[in-house]
Chain A
Amino acid sequence: MTPDDAVAEAFRTERARVLATLIRLTGDWDLAEECVQDAFERALKRWPVDGVPRKPGAWLTTTARNRALDRLRRSTVEAGKLREAAEMPPPEDDDWPDDRLRLIFTCCHPALALEARVALTLRTVAGLTTDEIARAFLTPTATMAQRLVRAQRKIREAGIPYRVPPPELLPQRTTGVLAVVYLLFNEGYSAAQRWDLAAEAIRLGRILVQLMPDDVEVRGLLALMLLQDARRAARLDAQGDLMTLEDQDRSLWDRGQIAEGVRLLAPGGPYQLQAAIAACHVTAARVEDTDWTRIASCYDELARLTASPFVELNRAIAVAMADGPAVGLPLVDALDRSGALAGYHLLAATQADLLRRLGRRTEAAAAYERALDLAPTEAERRYLQRRIDEL
């Protein structure tokens, strides 16, 4: 590995940890970011001359810390911060504390707006530039920069603590962190040109598993993302239209990722249940081998935990697959009457699909037309139109 590669590697693997420590030492997010940036620039100059240090992370932390001390010494108003930073012994080895969890929990604090949590996590934990984040969210760079500045200012001025929450807050706050990561994943997953966000979400998921190895839901989220993302290469057809599970070329699914996801499965909460459902789909050799009974029972449990009408709809679909459309249709019709999913195109599309399978073609056609009127994207309208034409 060349020294430049070593710096790039350290940037990928060590940056968040170095930054997390610098924020703890200085209490100043801007200063910490600048000093970490300086440390990497220094590494680019020094490592080709002095050789790559044995512990790159420790070297970078010491360098960034010394830089922060220099900067603080020059400004007398920052005397308090200087004292704190000076008390810190330079990290000699890999035993320096891992502050990344504090960083993640602080970035995902519920007192910050959701979009700010997402942006801040991408910036500080994932190490994306403001420009990259702005592009991923189709937002002007200046707007994104301001969002980040505001979020960092609120952390400082509102007294958001830089810490891992105490036990009584931990379950709730962990759920909040997982929600941010999953939102990120879905942002990337729903738009074909933003796979990088899905990859970042998976990377964050891996970090969380490493930092909270005993939390089954943390493992459940990583499993869910891996199992969904495993189908990436098969999800779109040549026109860029979504392919349904049954039409996808299963040989394109990522076997390694599926195996990794399956290993993370365990009895747990909503993420584990969703991961178990995704696993049922991706471990079936052929679509007709799918274990719909198991999927229906997972949705059953999920419906009890979440009380979500979307989960109810999926449960009805799974029951229809396991026990036949005649058993599933009344569940969907009941959901329709409840009004909880009024205007949701997939409710009408599901009714249409079940009616079609029951041979009730006129009613199926009418339901497909309703779905067509409600479908939000062109790709979905094309898909529904094909179904109508096939009737």
Chain B
Amino acid sequence: MKYLMLVCVPEDAVVGPDADTDPIPWVEEVERRGIRVTGDRLRPAADATTVRMVAGEVVISDGPFAESKEYIGGFDILDCADLDEAIEVAAKHPVAKFGGLELRPFWPFDS
């Protein structure tokens, strides 16, 4: 089963290669286990663009879809046996200690 894992971090958080927040050991582990399909870091919410159609017009707005104290700082696509495995992997991500990991199951068009 495939899950999109949204890495949600507090606005002021820095995720980088210092000891506590470096995601590289996590990436290495889940790739070794064949769970991580792909993933990356994302530019901050300030650089986001939201697109929607309102009354037949394309409305483009600056910023993320949902305003909140947290923003999506990165994502991973995980291929897991079930939700319990996805939870186990997400809980090991360094951001789990100060942010949140949202797990969204894939909903393939051919299902």
- Label chain B's interface by main secondary structure: mixed
A side interface size, CB within 8 A: 9
* 25-53 of chain B: CB within 8 A of chain A: none
Report the stretch among A155-163, A261-269, A316-324 that lies at the interface.
Answer: A155-163
- Decide if B105 touches A161 in the complex (CB within 8 Å): no
Q: Which B residue's beta carbon lies closest to that of A111?
A: B83
- Decide if A161 touches B84 in the complex (CB within 8 Å): yes
* 64-111 of chain B: CB within 8 A of chain A: 80-84, 86-87, 103, 105, 107
Interface residues on B, range: 10 to 19
Tally inter-chain residue pairs, CB-CB below 8 A.
24
Q: In whole angstroms, what is the CA distance A73 to B82 when docked?
A: 27
- Decide if A157 touches B80 in the complex (CB within 8 Å): no
Q: Which B residue's beta carbon lies closest to that of A160?
A: B83
Query: What distance in Å separates the Cβ of A134 from its nearest Cβ neighbour in chain B?
Result: 28
Query: What distance in Å separates the Cβ of B61 from its nearest Cβ neighbour in chain A?
Result: 30
- Decide if B107 touches A159 in the complex (CB within 8 Å): no
Query: What distance in Å separates the Cβ of B78 from its nearest Cβ neighbour in chain A?
Result: 11
* 124-174 of chain A: CB within 8 A of chain B: 157-161, 165, 169
Query: What distance in Å separates the Cβ of A157 from its nearest Cβ neighbour in chain B?
Result: 6
Q: Which A residue's beta carbon lies closest to that of B87?
A: A111
Instruction: Return chain B residues, CB-CB under 8 Å to A159.
Output: 1, 3, 80, 82-83, 86, 105
Q: In whole angstroms, what is the CA distance A360 to B83 when docked?
A: 59
Instruction: Return chain A residues, CB-CB under 8 Å to B84.
Output: 160-161, 165, 169
Q: Which B residue's beta carbon lies closest to that of A168?
A: B88
Q: In whole angstroms, what is the CA distance A220 to B28 when docked?
A: 43
Q: In whole angstroms, what is the CA distance A161 to B87 when docked?
A: 12
Q: In whole angstroms, what is the CA distance A165 to B105 when docked?
A: 20
Instruction: Return chain B residues, CB-CB under 8 Å to A111.
Output: 83, 87
Q: In whole angstroms, what is the CA distance A160 to B85 when docked?
A: 10
Query: What distance in Å separates the Cβ of B35 from its nearest Cβ neighbour in chain A?
Result: 13
Query: What distance in Å separates the Cβ of B105 from its nearest Cβ neighbour in chain A?
Result: 5
Instruction: Return chain A residues, CB-CB under 8 Å to B1.
Output: 159
Instruction: Return chain B residues, CB-CB under 8 Å to A160.
Output: 82-84
Q: In whole angstroms, what is the CA distance A165 to B81 when docked?
A: 14
Query: What distance in Å separates the Cβ of A292 from its nearest Cβ neighbour in chain B?
Result: 43
- Decide if B105 touches A158 in the complex (CB within 8 Å): yes
Interface centre among A109, A158, A165 (most CB of B within 10 A): A158
A residues adjacent to B (C-beta < 8 A): 109, 111, 157-161, 165, 169
Chain A to chain B: the 7 pairs with minimum beta-carbon distance, closest first: A161-B82, A159-B1, A159-B83, A159-B82, A160-B83, A158-B105, A158-B83
Known: A158-B105, A159-B83. 13 other contacts (CB 8 A): A111-B87, A157-B105, A157-B107, A158-B83, A158-B103, A159-B1, A159-B80, A159-B82, A159-B105, A160-B82, A160-B83, A161-B84, A169-B84
B residues adjacent to A (C-beta < 8 A): 1, 3, 80-84, 86-87, 103, 105, 107
- A selection of 10 A-B contacts at a CB cut-off of 8 Å is A111-B83, A158-B83, A158-B103, A158-B105, A159-B3, A159-B80, A159-B83, A160-B84, A165-B84, A169-B84
